[in-house]
Homo-oligomer: A and B are copies of this chain.
């Protein structure tokens, strides 16, 4: 009998992260108080400062914990694809799916129950630019660069600058879906979803592949 009823669980740090993830998703970063997090986690206010140092540092830890394995998976898939197509360029559809699928997997393990987790991503993008930009660069610049290079090789008729635009459009579609914005049902009764992940991915891949392959007409 060490500390019987005081702490129900072991890792304080982990419990803080889990509670923060939940509340940031539900309420947003600015509206979530450290007090609320520590109540949810069943720990003390001071514990956050002890383990992380500040509220902002907590957000960073949270972000890195999810983004790192997700991007590792992205790179692994890309390596597999390049190995499989020995020397040649992987097929476009496979590239797109390799890029977007890990995000959906991450979302699922973030909250198997359903959609509130998707809010977490939407919330993130509205933090002060400085933080978002720094964290995004830290976690995504390597994967982004490698994929962009491969897309450019896969689309020799399009031109690097145009490919960069279209890569950006792919990111747009991905973040939109991850943030769950397609579930808002702006036009009543006309929402495409909710659909399961494989179907969502299939729709997106079809659309994006056609967009990437669009004939690249210059101005006039």
Contacts and interface: CB of A to CB of B under 8 A. Distances in A.
A128 interface: yes
B140 A186 contact: yes
Interface string A53-65: 0000000000000
A44 interface: no
B128 A125 contact: no
B206 A214 contact: yes
A173 B202 CA distance: 18
A28 to B, nearest CB: 6
B28 A145 contact: no
Nearest to A140: B186
B204 A191 contact: no
A139 to B, nearest CB: 9
- For this chain, the copies found in one complex come to 2
| Interface of A: prevailing SS | helix
Contact of A192 (B161, B179, B191, B210): B161
A185 B132 CA distance: 11
A61 B219 CA distance: 39
Contact of A126 (B28, B206, B215): B28
B168 A172 contact: no
A148 interface: yes
A129 interface: yes
A188 interface: yes
Contacts of A192: 161, 164-165, 168
23 contacts: A122-B125, A122-B126, A125-B125, A133-B185, A137-B185, A140-B186, A145-B188, A145-B190, A148-B187, A166-B203, A166-B207, A168-B176, A169-B173, A172-B173, A172-B181, A172-B182, A175-B176, A202-B219, A206-B214, A210-B210, A210-B211, A210-B214, A210-B215
